[in-house]
A and B are shown apart, each in its own frame.
Chain A
Amino acid sequence: MANLKKMLAASGGAIAAVAGLPARADWSLLNMPEGVSELSQEIYGLHMMVLWVCVVIAVFTFGAMIYAMVKFRKSKGAVADTSMVHSTRMEIAWTIVPVFILIGMAIPSVETLIKIEDTSGSELTVKVTGYQWFWQYEYLDKGVSFYSRLAQTSNETRQLGSGKDPNAVDNYLLDVDNPLVVPTGTKVRILLTANDVIHAWWVPDLGMKRDAIPGFINEMWISVDEDKPGTYRGQCAELCGRDHGFMPVVVVAKPKAEFEAWLAGRQAAQQAAAGTATTAAVDTLAGQAVTLAKAE
């Protein structure tokens, strides 16, 4: 019954949205975000180029099909030209022309790919570990490490039969307790691994997604534009079990000075809790040993 009421309310909301009344949801979300990093903007450019090439080809092919369907109808008295069964010239043409179009698309793709794979010259390295179902961020050589889980409000609301309205939660399912903080205008190398199953770390505005695989370390880099500090949200993108949909990725990009201040504060806090931290580390190791034993 409660479900029915909620559904009625939701469909009312949908009708309101269609009618152009103010609504929370956004109908303008139709395309890939341009993003806030050099890579994401380059990827966006590639995406739009290929999209437009497809649109142009579609206009020609669909145009020809529609023309044929309108012009050569039996009901309009069209008589089939049964001698038109083969044309080497035409067939060579529509084999060769696409080859050139594809080469035109391949060159910029490969260029971007080379740039994406070049992780050299990074100024900061963060190791990201995926767990069922949260993330761990470790700032290598900085002595800062923490876990990042779905924010409590989202977590309560998302339970089956919680009776709470997701629309009332800010950034529903896209909010965490401890976001990853990075400096803007800095090439940050991200190392990815996982502790149990495969996860994938993805923030659309940063343009990159990469799998976090147990037993292996993947790498990628991100760099938020200097003039675009802010909070950027994404999700785990590789099915990782029951709560796969509930381990968001949140990145807060701060100007360099603010980042340094944040990092120093974090370091101090972590050192203060050093005693407890040692015990926690031992616990984690023990936990990992148990997991390994189970896996075997």
Chain B
Amino acid sequence: MAQHEHAAEHADHDGKPQGIRRWLTTTNHKDIGTMYLVFSLAMFLIGGLFAMVIRAELFQPGLQFVDPGFFNQMTTMHALVMVFGAVMPATVGLANWMIPMQIGAPDMALPRMNLFSFWLLFFAFMLLLSTLFLPGGAPASGWTLYPPLVLQTGDAFPVAVFAVHLMGASSIMGSINVIVTIMNMRAPGMSLLKMPLFSWSWLITAYLLIGVMPVLAGGVTMLLTDHFFATSFFNPAGGGDPVLFQHVFWFFGHPEVYIMILPAFGIVSEILQTFSRKPIFGYETMVYAIASIGFLSFIVWAHHMFTVGMPLAGQMFFTLSTMLIAIPTGVKVFNWTATMWRGSISFEPPMLFAIAFLFLFTIGGFSGLMLAIAPADFQYHDTYFVVAHFHYVLVPGAVFAIMAAVYYWLPKWTGHMYDMKLATFHFWMSTIFVNVLFFPQHFLGLAGMPRRIPDYATQFADWNMVSSIGAFGFGLSQLLFVYIIVKAARGGEKATAQVWDQPTGLEWTVPSPAPYHTFDTAPEVK
């Protein structure tokens, strides 16, 4: 029997166990990448469902469907699930799949830790989602978890804190793996400055993660001891300071924003050059721009807290340092435009999403610049203007880039071409509805609607209704995305090794679908 199995394994030359055991015990970077991506898609749908509850309640003034307390649970869980469950695992999944193939390595450097970090994340989310069913419900303090409010959470509190710890451990392990892989396992001749930009963006992202995840873990641990062990880190009655938590949180939280967007920058760079049939403009500048954004992300955190009553000098410093981020970000946008300039552009689904990213992320960048101006922020802060801003950088920003990446590499993963017509339709539906959804929120915020409220004054009714219609449309369009992926995974026109017209990068030199083991012998890079 054992011999028979052994023979069977040799028959397909990859030695993977079959069935469920393959997925539970695999240490293969491609399998783990797939698990991360599927997990992320599931969380994207669950987080989306929470958003639908929010937008249904906000469809018209008055409370129609949910209690205000449950509404707060929905906004909190929507954010936690989308940030830690959808966007971050999606980029980790892409890193797992693509970094070894882009740098000519046979696998990630630490395959067992790789699997461990996936399952930590999986159980972290089982815990987090279970809080919805605990007495007192899920956390309702917003994903920012500000004390003293967060200390009013019911039984969910320690569970949520433990879930955050697990997520942090998972992210740190994933980052260590990326750094070790890139530093040690590049193919001969693949110097750092020859590395594809997606791998570069992830290398810097990994350093950011290692820098800030322990800070978040420390912050939530202090919350835990304040709640259960009579410490007073954030309790003014014991000499503590609630604002200290905000500093700790945003020291994590701002780099976290770039953790979500830097891999998107890498993806968009790769796709724009492929479909403009022209190498990226200013490759080295792009690398330096990502690195400087990464550095600046550590010194701008308090722009999330202009209203807490910081000293004048502090407000000036954080206004100016935040404005500085516009410079490397601007360089990236201009270089992307220059990449398309005098190219030979075609509009396949990945390119469509990348171009939408270019426009819509830039709009989010503009509102970000406006928010950097401290005096104006006194008006914008905690309104729907902020909601519009960060959704523009995260949805048509990070999420569109992830979708672009899926449409770009899906044929390489599955060996099948997907339904291009349907994917183009998915693109147009998503792009139209995402703007119907989020653009009016700029108006709502400027006109004075605070965020995180379940009901609003009647003058905000019209734009809220428009926004909700956009949300339902956007949510439904994503079912198309699931359908397209499932269909391509099950079959379809056979993809060539190159898939696209002359793409650059080692991943396009191996057949599609990529064999279970690639680059067992390192390729030679000139």
Contacts and interface: CB of A to CB of B under 8 A. Distances in A.
B374 A113 contact: yes
Interface stretch (B18-26, B275-283, B389-397): B275-283
A117 B64 contact: no
Nearest to B305: A211
A159 B454 CA distance: 11
**Which of A10, A46, A209 neighbours the largest number of chain B CB atoms within 10 Å of its CB?**
A209
Interface string A70-81: 001111001111
A61 B358 CA distance: 10
B327 A98 contact: yes
A238 B64 contact: no
B337 A68 contact: yes
Given A43-B378, A69-B355, A218 B309 contact: yes
B375 A84 contact: no
Contacts, number: 320
B309 A216 contact: yes
Interface string B373-388: 1111011011100000
Nearest to A238: B382
Interface in B316-358: 316, 319-320, 323-324, 326-327, 330-331, 333-335, 337-338, 340-346, 355, 358
B453 A245 contact: yes
A95 interface: yes
Contacts of A245: 68, 450, 452-456
A284 interface: no
A181 interface: no
B69 A242 contact: yes
Given A6-B64, A68-B337, A166-B61, A240 B149 contact: yes
B346 A74 contact: yes
B359 interface: yes
Counting chain B residues whose Cβ lies within 8 A of the other chain, the interface size class is 35 or more
Nearest to B275: A74
B193 interface: no
B152 interface: yes
A30 B447 contact: yes
Ordered nearest first, which 9 A-B pairs have the shortest CB separation?
Answer: A215-B236, A245-B453, A218-B309, A29-B447, A54-B366, A81-B342, A80-B344, A80-B277, A166-B61
21 contacts: A10-B465, A11-B465, A17-B462, A25-B458, A25-B460, A50-B370, A57-B366, A80-B276, A85-B278, A86-B284, A87-B338, A91-B334, A95-B331, A116-B375, A166-B62, A166-B458, A198-B149, A211-B307, A218-B308, A235-B450, A243-B68
Interface of A: 3, 6-7, 10-11, 13-14, 17, 24-27, 29-33, 40, 42-43, 46-47, 50-51, 54, 57-58, 61-62, 64-65, 68-69, 72-75, 78-82, 84-87, 90-91, 94-95, 98-99, 102, 105-106, 109-110, 112-114, 116-117, 157-162, 164-167, 169, 171-174, 192, 196-198, 200, 202, 204, 207-211, 213-216, 218-219, 234-246, 292, 295-296
